[in-house]
Amino acid sequence: MAQGIAIVGVGQTRYGNRHDVNYVELVREAVTACLADSGVELDEIDAVVSGSMPASMEGIEAPELWLSEGLGAVDKPLMRVATCGSTGMSIAHSAYYHVASGVHDLVLAVGFEKMYQSDPQGAMSTVGDPIFMRAFLAGAPGIIALQSREYMARCPVPAERIREAAARISVRNHTAALKNPYAHIQRDITVEDVLRSRVVCEPLHLLDICPSSDGACAVLFATEKRAKQFSGDLAWVKGLGYAGDEYWIADKDLARWQSAIVAAQRAYEMAGISDPLKELDVAEVYNPFTFQEMIFYECFRFCPEGMAYQFVEDGVFDADGELPCDPSGGVLCSNAIGATALVRVGEAALQVMGKAGDRQVPRAKTALSHGWGGAVQFNGVMILSNTL
């Protein structure tokens, strides 16, 4: 990289059913928290990159325009990004490049969603081609059920063992969310609770699936020169990668997700990481479905192909394991889609800055953040460190 780029502030709202605030107030809540965290005044911000789900789910075109006051973007350059679930990661990458280009010194990235005022499953059920794909989608759970089945068939053990490993992932995330004051779902559950929860779309049970949440997240990116004016540990961007693959779900391998593999490898090469399990201290993996988390463990080379279940059973990704994953509770416990992948970046930044509170992983220096989206076709990764 020509220069260092750092995250110098993070702000979040509480996630859940936020009928207590309107959309503008929700967005401003995250922006205000980010400015307070960084100590920056609004008039110091050079530009804003924002995003949410495609406008069909928002119910109004160009929501960034009528949210501009809440975003703090009045009289500032404003960009909107929308790549479905990966929107938050796309926002983070865009904000990074706004700064890395040398055009701006301080750029605010803001992701937001009010899912209780929209129709998320309606939007997701109609995103596919109406002739060949739409009948198989049934919203996000439908297509991820197909992906989960494909993955289970590749594993060298009976499906029941993979099913239980997925339940363990659900328990781990829900336990972690109990320590996160922003989390939507805060519930103490057991493996038996997951396995006995109602089936939504086989093999996915209710407790394998994320909620729909309202919420917003703001992350402030700065040039190296500007960042060095801040005190304390910062979160320096060491690597990033983004990739897309086939739109047609029947034309690609959903269990060995190529765009996830490519995005991670690009980020690893940029960050100089060759052994991610050993060199990463914490990971915020985008995990709206439990089975997907195992797929990503393998795509990101946290474990050998087909062996994620064993690593889950061995506690490798637990809070006290070799590579703690989603100490925030992850997407499985909070999912304001337009913000969700940016939350992964923000949570990873808080970890390496030592500011994650009760969910802090001891001695976390290097963190991976991740988001996926599109019609199950985009993956993005950003790696952060507390050293330049």
* 185 belongs to a structural domain: no
- pLDDT given at position 123: 72
| Angle subtended at Cα 308 by Cα 305 and Cα 310, rounded to the nearest 5 degrees | 120
Question: β-pairing, 366-373 with 282-284?
Answer: parallel
| Per-residue confidence (pLDDT) for residue 1, from 0 to 100 | 42
Beta-ladder partners of 201: 204
pLDDT at 60: 77
* Assigned domain for 380 exists: no
Q: In the chain, pLDDT over 90 holds for what percent of residues?
A: 85
Q: Name the residue with tokens 């059973």.
A: 313
- Number of compact structural domains in the chain: 1
Report which secondary-structure segment, H or E, holds 282.
strand 282-284
Q: How far apart are the first and last CA of the chain?
A: 11
**Domain of 28, in residue numbers:** 5-120+213-227
66-118 pLDDT per residue, tens: 899 999 999 999 999 999 999 999 999 999 999 999 999 999 999 999 998 87
Q: Please state which of the ranges 248-262, 266-280, 332-346 shows the lowest mean pLDDT.
A: 248-262
| pLDDT tier for residue 136 given thresholds of 50, 70 and 90 | low
Q: Give domain status of residue 254, yes or no.
A: no
In a domain, 36, yes or no: yes
Q: Over pLDDT 70: what percentage of the chain?
A: 98
The CATH number of the domain where 85 resides is what? 3.40.47.10
Residue 66 lies in a domain: yes
Would you say residue 246 lies in a domain? no
pLDDT digits 0-9 by tens, 316-333: 999 999 999 999 999 999
CA distance 166 to 187: 17
* C-alpha torsion angle, residues 164, 168, 171, 172 (rounded to 10): -170
- pLDDT tens, 195-236? 999 999 999 999 999 999 999 999 999 999 999 999 889 999
Q: How far apart are CA 271 and CA 262, in angstroms?
A: 14
Q: Is residue 65 part of a domain?
A: yes
Contact assessment for residue 336 and residue 109, using Cβ atoms and an 8 Å cutoff = no
Model pTM above 0.85: yes
Q: Could you tell me if residue 219 is inside a domain?
A: yes
Mean pLDDT rounded to a whole number for the chain: 94
DSSP state of 209: B
